[in-house]
Amino acid sequence: MTHTSAFPAFPAGTILGYPRIGPRRQLKKAVEAFWAGSVSADELEATAAALRQSTRKRLVQLGLGRDDSSIPESFSYYDQMLDALSTVGAVPARFAHLRGADGHLDLAGYFTLARGEGENPPLEMTKWFDTNYHYLVPEIGPETEFTLAGTRLVREFEEAKAAGFLTRPVIVGPVTFLLLSKPSDEAPAGFSPLDRLDDLVPVYAALLQRLRAAGAEWVQLDEPALVSESIDIPRTDALAGLRFAYNTLGALAERPALFVAAPYGSLDDALPVLAITPVEAIGLDLVRGSVPAETPGLDTTTLVAGVIDGHNIWRGDLAAAFDTAAGLVRLSPRISVSTSTSLLHVPHDVDDESALDDDLKTWLAFADQKVAQVATLARGLSLGRRAIEIDLSAASAALDARGVAPGVHDGAVRVRADALAPGDFTRGAYAARVAAQEMALGLPFLPTTTIGSFPQTGDIRRARAQLVRGVLSTADYRDLMRAEIRRVVSLQEDIGLDVIVHGEPERNDMVQYFAENLDGFAVTENGWVQSYGSRCVRPSILWGDVSRPRPITVEWSAFTQGLTPKPVKGMLTGPVTILAWSFVRDDQPLGETARQVALALRDEIADLESAGIQIVQVDEPALRELLPLKQKDQAEYLDWSVGSFRLATAGAAAATQIHTHLCYSEFGVVIDAIRNLDADVTSIEAARSRMEVVGDIRSQGFDHGIGPGVWDIHSPRVPSVSELTDLLERAAAAIPATRLWVNPDCGLKTRGYTETVQSLHNMLAATRILRARL
Ligand code: GLN
Ligand code: ZN
């Protein structure tokens, strides 16, 4: 007897989720207007409802079924973890006053958890698996009360039904919800949020029954935490939790059919556990993960083959995707197709890009194109491969054309990369470099500097917008930027900073700026993706071999150096960060692409040196972010990522001082990598943790120059001289004073001038106090 027979079949094709922001960022605009008070809660709800309805219609147009549960109800006002939190009423004690009847949060309360209020900090935000999406971290303790406090998911299902759509509600599953939570402030030592699974599962049960009563046939529970090793809970506990949760939910009398999705990797040892629970369908990520072995229990489960990459923007090999999905019949007679992850990570629609090259467009698939691909594969699964042969060949033809298109393979770039030798990745001995740099730069003890950008004022942004629209000529734009640089340089001289920056006024974004100036990249008009909450980014598309047609930053840096006798620090974005914050080609290993970017940067550094620049900073804030989830993949990643940084910088003369900036402060897992970058000076974030990180730096024997940030630039607060002196003393206690630099935590582009000037003055005052003492 099989347990699936009581339920309608899982749809032949589906997607795990769809972008929520709207093709023109309608949701972002409405939400921000609500925050600003210019739009009421009712108006925001109405905008969101209209957006959901147009999404459903669009998905039907693209080939999903109107009444077979293939449309996921995956909307969120801010974040899916926050949604799950408000569904189960798990509001942290410091926000208890926001809870209404039965623990319900209204829209304003919901956003308050995300944004904080007064002295009450918001929930912490952290990266969602190996994506650029960030989720809010629930805080769970023994005191957390779980109750079905939010029924928005039920209402949205009913809203769809009333409009004639039988959709599939989506929620983060209970195991992932707890695995991604952190212990609350009230929790005793040794407490783990997963300890509360017994109390949480009944709330999910109640939700499922409500959805069933409303008419839902299938519900999707996302359990991506099961594919990740980077979670501190013992694996056996996580697996036991999984078994308990789905045996319990599966045993409910009146419930919808359960679809458990596991995007972002392979389930590995979690699959046999899940396979013998009563769950009716399991979603496998067959892009990041691989086809599993035969597993007891799978043959009575629908396997939802995640073969369309939800993570990138390539049209890809549709025939291979079809064959992978069809091959799963070995494991189960019931096969469906889907995306590997939610489409949340890709922009809406390639056809909305009028300025992109026509050939390039045929190689791409954004969310809408991927939905159509899923629909095609679903048709093939039901009618046989022949029925979709035309579509498969069209995709293969595009792929073949891409393979030989001009620019995808650039002979000169390839020859140069192939000829690289170990010596190209190594600078001379550090001690010799220190001596040469001391002589060349003559910097004082405890040198002071900033991380690169100065406040981006409205005037700067306006000038850039006018340049893009053609209202401002290139020459006029350059004059405006030069005037800005003059101001920023004389400000730094007045304050007394030792190493000067130009302030980066000409950059829209630290990655896009380089993408626009390198061959092999394309920039989109509407290719926005959600980064967190209402924040969206527009990554560039790295589609071909990368080269530098002409110097990029040299003119700006040389101009700046002409304004001051003090050393000016050239400012570049590193290869790993350029890759991490772009959509990257999928037809060669990332390491190869990174090497091409590195060679372009290497040439830029050489040109900066020729133009008289003696210090160059290569920012790598994303080094840590791209670290693979599975430990077994980390060594290879660190090898190419660190290698590409070294390749970019190793051509510099011994007397040229190479800096790097890494945004984060946890040195831990990547300490060896940071050491291997072999930068002369590394600046990191340290103010918020009150210099906690300097202990690690010393105990790990990091002996190059280091600038632990003393000013937390994430808020407009001005640190006092005594506070800064105290932080510097802590740093000096752990780090030899000859290696210690004084700088803020990060760039100042989001700050205002008032706090910038005061804080930098205070930073210099504290430095003078310390210089006198040491
Ligand atoms: N140089 C960049 C800036 O100052 C670094 C930004 C970053 O690390 N995110 O803005
Ligand atoms: Zn930073």
* pLDDT at residue 120, as a whole number: 87
State the distance from the centre of ligand 1 to the C-alpha of 729, rounded, in angstroms. Answer: 25
CA 740 from centre of chain: 31
Nearest Cα residue to atom 4 of ligand 1: 747
Ligand 1 atom closest to the Cα of residue 450 is 4
Find the 746 Cα to ligand 1 centroid distance in Å. 6
Ligand 1 atom, smallest distance to 662 CA: 8
Query: Which residues lie closer than 8 Å to 245 by C-beta, 6 or more apart?
Result: 173, 174, 175, 197, 201, 204
Is 714 in the active site? yes
User: Is residue 327 over pLDDT 80?
Assistant: yes
Q: Can you tell me whether residue 660 is helix, strand or coil? A: strand
pLDDT of residue 4: 44
Please provide the size of the chain in residues: 774
Using alpha carbons, select from 335, 384, 239, 383 the residue that is nearest to residue 4: 335
CA nearest ligand 1 atom 6, residue: 747
Contact by Cβ (8 Å): 463, 472: yes
CA of 495 to the centre of ligand 1 (A): 21
The answer to whether 670 touches 624, Cβ cutoff 8 Å, is yes
- Separation of CA 618 and ligand 1 centre (Å): 10
- Is 71 annotated for ligand binding? no
Helix H or strand E segment including 127: strand 125-127
Residue from 501, 619, 681, 684 whose mutation best tests the ligand 1 pocket (most atoms within 8 A of CB): 619
| Contact predicate 587/403, CB 8 Å | yes
Question: In angstroms, rounded to a whole number, what is the distance separating the alpha carbons of residues 591 and 584?
Answer: 11
452 assigned ligand-binding residue = yes
* Mean pLDDT within 108-129: 91
Contact assessment for residue 184 and residue 143, using Cβ atoms and an 8 Å cutoff: yes
Cα 283 to Cα 515: distance, rounded to the nearest angstrom: 35
Mean pLDDT of 658-678: 86
C-alpha pair distances (Å), 243 with each of 152, 586, 711, 712, 724: 27, 36, 47, 44, 51
- Spacing, Cα 451 to ligand 1 middle (Å): 6
Site to substitute for ligand 1 among 454, 504, 514, 620, most atoms within 8 A of C-beta: 504
**Geometric angle at alpha carbon 170, from 167 and 175, rounded to 5°:** 155
Per-residue model confidence (pLDDT) at position 625: 82
Distance CA 342, CA 336 (A): 16
Mean pLDDT of 528-548: 96
Look at residue 427 and tell me whether its pLDDT is greater than 50: yes
Residues in contact with ligand 1 (CB, 6 Å cut-off)? 451-453, 504, 510, 571, 619, 621, 661, 663, 746-747, 749
In the set 97, 348, 502, 714, the catalytic residue is: 714
Q: ipTM for the complex?
A: 0.99
Flag whether pLDDT at 314 surpasses 90: yes
Q: Which amino acid is at 460?
A: I
Inform me whether the pLDDT recorded for 224 exceeds 90. Answer: yes
Q: Per-residue confidence at 5, pLDDT binned at 50, 70, 90?
A: low
Ligand 1: nearest atom to the Cα of 507? 10
Ligand 1, pocket-test mutation among 453, 488, 573, most atoms within 8 A of CB: 453
Q: How far apart are CA 259 and CA 242, in angstroms?
A: 14
Check if the beta carbon of residue 528 is closer than 8 Å to that of residue 538.
Answer: yes
- Whose Cα sits closest to atom 5 in ligand 1? 747
pLDDT value for 263:
97
Q: Which residue type, as a one-letter code, is found at position 608?
A: L
**DSSP readout, 450-462?**
--SB----HHHHH
DSSP secondary structure string for all residues of 221-279: EE-GGGG-S-SSS-HHHHHHHHHHHHHHHHT-SS--EEEEEETTS--TTHHHHHHTSS-
Q: What are the pLDDT digits (tens) for 433-478?
A: 999 999 999 999 999 999 999 999 999 999 999 999 999 999 999 9
Q: DSSP state, 625?
A: T
Three state DSSP letters for 534-575:
CEEECCEEEEEEEECCCCCCHHHHHHHHCCCCCCEEEEEECH
**Is 451 known as a binding-site position?**
yes
pTM: predicted TM-score of the whole model, two decimal places: 0.92
What tokens were used for 222? 């996302």
Which structure tokens are listed for 236? 């056996």
Quick: pLDDT tens for 18-43. 999 999 999 999 999 999 999 999 99
536 annotated as a binding-site residue: yes
pLDDT at 2: 41
Q: How far is the CA of 711 from the centre of ligand 1 (A)?
A: 14
The average pLDDT across 681-702 equals 87
CA–CA separation, 27 vs 20, rounded Å?
A: 7
Average pLDDT, the chain: 95
- Closest-approaching ligand to the CA atom of 685: 2
**DSSP character at residue 133:** -
If we measure between CA atoms, which residue out of 300, 299, 298, 318 comes closest to residue 309? 318
Predicted confidence at residue 132, as pLDDT, reads 86
The minimum-distance atom of ligand 1 relative to the CA of 571 is: 1
The answer to whether 159 is a known ligand-binding residue is no
Please state the atom number of ligand 1 nearest to the C-alpha of residue 661: 8
Rounded to an integer, the average pLDDT of 599-618 is 98
Q: Is 675 annotated as a binding residue?
A: no
Q: Tell me, what's the pLDDT at 230?
A: 61
From the CA of 571, how far away is ligand 1's center (Å)? 9
Gap between the terminal Cα atoms of the chain: 80
- What value, to the nearest 5°, has the Cα angle with vertex 140 and ends 96 and 144? 50
Check residue 1 and give its pLDDT. 37
Distance CA 535, CA 399 (A): 33
Q: Which residue out of 510, 578, 662 has the highest number of ligand 1 atoms within 8 Å of its CB and is therefore the one to mutate?
A: 510
